[in-house]
Chains A and B, each alone.
Chain A
Amino acid sequence: MALLQLSEPGQSAAPRQHRLAAGIDLGTTNSLVASVRSGQPETLPDEQGRHILPSVVRYTADGVIVGHEAKAEATSDPLNTIASVKRLLGRGVDDIKSLGARLPYEFRQEDTAVPRIHTVGGDVSPVEVSAEILKKLVRRAEDTLGVDLQGVVITVPAYFDDAQRQATKDAAKVAGLNVLRLLNEPTAAAVAYGLDSGSDGVHAIYDLGGGTFDISILRLNRGVFEVLSTGGDSALGGDDLDRLVAEWIMSEAGISDDADHAMLRRLMRDACAAKEALTESDSAQLRVDLDDGSHWEGELTRDQFNSLVDPLIKKTLAPCRRALRDAGLTAADVEDVVMVGGSTRVPRVRELVGDFFSTEPMVSIDPDCVVAIGAAIQADILAGNKPEEEMLLLDVNPLSLGIETMGGLVEKIIPCNTTIPVARAQEFTTFKDGQTAMAVHVLQGERELVSDSRSLARFELRGIPPMVAGAARIRVTFSVDADGLLSVEAQEQSSGVKASIEVKPSYGLTDSEIETMLRDSIEHAEDDMEARRLREQQVEADRVIEALRAALDEDGKVLLNEQELESVEAALEKLVAISRSDSHSEIKQGIEALEKACEFYVERRMNASVKSAMSGHSVDEFE
């Protein structure tokens, strides 16, 4: 057999192309996209030079508008203009009500657990709204960079639970993106400052955004990041600073509390401008046109401003104190404080936070961009552009995972702060004679009572052979992947009856719902869908072929004997041959066949790399 005609010598030794990947900060108020170009991470602007994309999506009868143009219509078309959708991601309708948010939207709840918002463009779920923002950012990145993105890293708050993380990933799926990793926002900020390459220690990430405040305490231990604790205030942000200044102007200028909306909006704008001016100068001049045609002029000094906002800034220090206590630390243990969020530009914020932690806050990177930049750096590494990179981000699961047991109690299976990926199993038994089914209720949270925990999923294991109470042995296995996403499996041990049900969070979308959204998002065109599936499979086939060729070049002759090498190469050629087929299912089967044929080789390679990682150690250490 002529198997050696495969490739020209040196063909696959061509210099590897730089793969472009992007980091996305999918924020509550604003979103950003960043990428590493010629070694430098930078946020990418739109064609008008604007880096920030307001996280606002407006649905019209003619289509979807995202960003500044949508935000401009927020007051004129509130029902169809959706802002702060991140607060709704991974939430049920009841959750949203209890969030206390006074939302103007019309919610529709049909047969699915996911709330839908009624707009003139149709009913949309928070996942789809988020997908629109992601699509807009990715289009911007691909236009700027001139190539398709290899993949993206999307940041999420450290306290996001499983349902919220899953919803974020679903949004990426609907947007047609390859997610390399979900990354915790504070971890991304720490990466942006290169804290991973510095000394080991404890770092605080102080994030004062427009409407929310978050504090995270991270520990870095030899390239490994661990989130120790998080805290914050979801109803406190930079907008509150503006409000305080606006109220001051009102009292100075004698504007009454019942001034109209237009006036209030103008005042908020003037207040914001004054706040921004005061980051540079010691005083800000104000001029407000009054309704009677006259105007008011005044001056706000930095000292006056500081005394106005001090109570508010001090309010952020209470969650800092609590987060430190949760981590079992004091302010003195914290080496650095990274400042995130536009409001941390206010000098008084830096001053008080610096005093609290007794350290000069880190502010050299634009606080609006720092999370996106960290995500871009991580995306670049994950895309394979820095094979020598030593950094490894080991995340922990932020909340404990467990199942409901008798009496409405939660039995924890994976405690919080366990390094992921992780799999843990626990055995349970039946409590009634002849019991043939068992309900598994999956919960998340630190509390002992089911009623205090967040319900993630419910499923049933059926077909347990009837036995006396306590005789059946049901093994429940929890697995959390590197993105913090959970899957659960239950198996009766003596009979082998298994309920390997794919657990989706209670407020998550089913695969078929995602499929439908994906289809909807490309305008109901069945052909487009088909074309897209085909392209996806071709890309995946190319990826598999490229990876296998590179692997064979590297160690094929070392790890495989002649026969094995021949069989692997033959399987590879088979896929090469069908990879340009126009049937996505044929290519898919081809990929599966190749993967099956090469499984032993992939395993051997991983063992070899493990062995070589350990080979630096003397032989006697190995016994």
Chain B
Amino acid sequence: MLDFSKNYFELFGLSAGYIIDVEQLAGRYRELQRVVHPDRYANASEQERRISMQGATRINEAFDTLKDPILRARYLLSLNGIDVAAQKETTQDTAFLMEQLELREQLEEARSAEDPYEVIADLMNGINRKINTLIGQMAVQFEESTPEQLEQAREILRKMQFLQKLRYDAESLETELDEVY
């Protein structure tokens, strides 16, 4: 089996850090799958097929984690001994929370807007911009990873999770509207 003691960065032969070359990551991913994927073992013994399946699953999991800025942050924190449960921690930043409330109101109002799709699209663009700003801030925290910086990173991650949930709800609303028409 793949060496399970290796972390995801080691698996892809990348140095552990928040800033990642997505093209390089995707390239390594494909190289690894070319040797491990069950299709390469279609004719092998039951045992090899099983091991190959586990390996390919592990590589997919590693790739999905590293390519996503939110999952990557959570994973880096866990490598530093900080486990942030998904959706369960909340930021105490009142200004941020106020802003979230407003955004949620805007999303609700989109339903009755003249062109709901346009309102949702604008909202999503805004959310993406905010997430991108947080990604930039996150990268700074992982440059040295002092305990203070890791605590900061954790706070940024909480905010990212908030925004991600909002983005998901906006997408769901869009789907809901599609079904009506």
Contacts and interface: CB of A to CB of B under 8 A. Distances in A.
A606 B61 contact: no
Interface of B: 1-3, 10, 13-15, 26-28, 30-39, 42-48, 51-53, 55-57, 60-61, 63-64, 175
B51 A595 contact: no
A384 B42 contact: yes
Given A606-B2, A613-B32, A481 B13 contact: no
Interface of A: 19, 150-151, 180-181, 221-224, 381-384, 390, 392-394, 418-423, 446, 479, 481-482, 540, 543-544, 547, 591, 595, 598-599, 602-603, 606-607, 609-610, 612-614, 617, 621-623
Contacts, number: 112
Given A423-B61, A621-B13, A623-B15, A595 B38 contact: no
Contacts of A479: 57
Contacts of B1: 603, 606-607
A589 to B, nearest CB: 14
Given A418-B64, A420-B60, A614-B32, A482 B48 contact: no
A614 B30 CA distance: 11
6 contacts: A381-B39, A418-B60, A603-B51, A606-B51, A610-B2, A621-B14
A595 B39 contact: no
Given A602-B48, A610-B2, A423 B39 contact: no
Q: By DSSP majority rule, is chain A's interface helix, strand, loop, or mixed?
A: mixed
A422 B38 CA distance: 12
B45 A543 contact: yes
Given A544-B45, A547-B48, A607-B2, A224 B30 contact: yes
A614 B34 contact: no
Contact of B37 (A19, A446, A482, A617): A482
A610 B58 CA distance: 13
Given A222-B30, A606-B2, A613-B32, A383 B46 contact: no
Contact of A613 (B3, B35, B56): B35
B31 A223 contact: no
A338 to B, nearest CB: 22
B47 A419 contact: no
Contacts of A151: 42-43
A607 B3 contact: yes
A16 B93 CA distance: 67
Contacts of A591: 45
A482 B34 contact: no
B84 to A, nearest CB: 15
Nearest to B12: A614
A614 B31 contact: yes
Given A420-B60, A614-B31, 18 more contacts: A180-B42, A181-B39, A181-B42, A221-B26, A383-B43, A392-B37, A419-B60, A481-B53, A482-B39, A540-B46, A543-B44, A595-B45, A595-B46, A606-B2, A613-B32, A613-B34, A621-B14, A623-B15
A19 B31 contact: no
B39 A393 contact: yes
B47 A421 contact: no
Given A606-B55, A617-B13, A621-B15, A392 B34 contact: yes
Nearest to A381: B39
Nearest to A384: B43
Contacts of A223: 30
A371 B30 CA distance: 25
A610 B35 contact: yes
A381 B48 CA distance: 17
Given A423-B61, A623-B15, A602 B53 contact: no
Which 4 A/B pairs are nearest by Cβ-Cβ distance? A382-B42, A595-B47, A482-B38, A180-B42
A422 B10 CA distance: 20
B45 A547 contact: yes
A394 B37 contact: yes
A122 to B, nearest CB: 33
Nearest to B45: A544
